[in-house]
Amino acid sequence: MEQKRILCVGLVCLDIINVVDKFPEEDTDTRCVSQRWQRGGNASNSCTVLSLLGAPCAFMGSLAAGPIAENLPDVCADDFSQLDLSQYRWIHFEGRNADEQVKMIEQVKSYNATQEEKNRITISVEIEKTRPSLYQLFPHGDVVFVSKDVALHFGFQSASSAVKGFYSQVKDGAVLICAWAEKGADAMGPDGTVVHSDAFPPEKLVDTLGAGDTFNASVIYTLSNGGSLQEALTFGCQIAGKKCGVHGYDGILQ
């Protein structure tokens, strides 16, 4: 039987990356040493990493016919209802149009209720931006990723204080995870202990764009294969660290 997939719902876009010798000063011109165009977007990046790890995955989002597009609509609950949910074992939502995303998660809940345990779908959500409408996602994930930005916004000065402070917002049995750049990442599950992994800095820091997406994908990969929370955090930080040492994603498994 073909293995069920991990679905990521969110954005795909074009990232134009200009490499410069040093961080530019405001209102100055700087000659860039190289430029590359790279597929980006958080959910799309996470799919890239999942497929490099060998996990069957799928992406759901709006695509444009040409390289330049404005105001692509977000996936809505109506679009989502056309999916055959039996193809998926895990669905990850990049927090965007949260009102609609809550409705999509309700659809998964109803689907779950008709299925035996082994066919039920696990939900993860990420809350990256400090946008109040996104905070309604906290109680809807089995796994919730909250960003350093959101944590700082609420006055938490470390990943461990963030997971302790936000834990009352998540649903029973859920896991809450917060990555903190070069400080690694912390998480808390239903037993209330805080789990930590240090970062694994590469020899030379080359490109951190998408490090967070790499971290999330590697954590989801480990948890979806039955790994422990500690294993998931450590693997997430290892692969994200590798990513910081290369341009783009090729070579993150070496």
Ligand X SMILES: *[C@@H]1O[C@H](CO)[C@@H](O)[C@H](O)[C@H]1NC(C)=O
Ligand Y SMILES: Nc1ncnc2c1ncn2[C@@H]1O[C@H](COP(=O)(O)OP(=O)(O)OP(=O)(O)O)[C@@H](O)[C@H]1O
CB 74 within 8 A of CB 103: no
Task: Output the smallest distance, CB 94 to ligand X, in A.
Answer: 4
The CB density around residue 111, as the number of other CB atoms within 10 Å, is 16
Q: Find the binder of ligand Y among 185, 195, 229, 252 (CB under 6 A).
A: 185
| Total residues interacting with ligand X, rule: CB under 6 A | 29
Q: Find the binder of ligand Y among 14, 20, 69, 205 (CB under 6 A).
A: 205
Cβ closest to ligand Y, residue 83 vs residue 127: 127
- Under the criterion CB under 6 A, does residue 212 sit at the interface with ligand Y? yes
CB 133 within 8 A of CB 98: yes
Which of ligand Y, ligand X, none sits in contact with 184, Cβ below 5 to 8 A by type?
Answer: ligand Y
Cβ closest to ligand Y, residue 7 vs residue 240: 240
- Under the criterion CB under 6 A, does residue 53 sit at the interface with ligand X? no
- Under the criterion CB under 6 A, does residue 4 sit at the interface with ligand X? no
Query: Residue 113 carries which side chain, given as an amino acid letter?
Result: A
Burial 204-216 (b: 16+ CB within 10 A, else e): eeebebbbbbbbb
Residue number with the smallest Cβ distance to ligand X: 40
The C-alpha atoms of residue 212 and residue 241 are separated, in whole angstroms, by 10
Cβ closest to ligand Y, residue 189 vs residue 236: 236
Task: Output the smallest distance, CB 21 to ligand X, in A.
Answer: 21
71: CB partners within 8 A, 6+ apart: none
- Under the criterion CB under 6 A, does residue 95 sit at the interface with ligand Y? no
Distance of CA 189 to the CA centre of its chain: 18
- Stretch of 26-34, 67-75, 116-124, 210-218 contacting ligand Y, by CB under 6 A: 210-218
The C-alpha atoms of residue 94 and residue 232 are separated, in whole angstroms, by 19
- Stretch of 18-26, 37-45, 61-69, 233-241 contacting ligand X, by CB under 6 A: 37-45
CB 35 within 8 A of CB 4: no
Show the DSSP H helices in 146-228 as ranges. 148-153, 159-166, 211-224
- Under the criterion CB under 6 A, does residue 85 sit at the interface with ligand Y? no
Show the DSSP H helices in 154-250 as ranges. 159-166, 211-224, 229-244
- Under the criterion CB under 6 A, does residue 206 sit at the interface with ligand Y? no
| Total residues interacting with ligand Y, rule: CB under 6 A | 22
Give me 11's structure tokens.
């954005």
- Under the criterion CB under 6 A, does residue 43 sit at the interface with ligand X? yes
The C-alpha atoms of residue 131 and residue 224 are separated, in whole angstroms, by 28
Return the residues of window 96-155 that contact ligand X according to CB under 6 A.
Answer: 105, 108-109, 112, 117, 120-123, 126, 128, 142, 145-147
Chain residues that interact with ligand Y, rule: CB under 6 A = 147-148, 179-182, 184-185, 199, 201, 205, 208-213, 215, 237, 240-241, 244
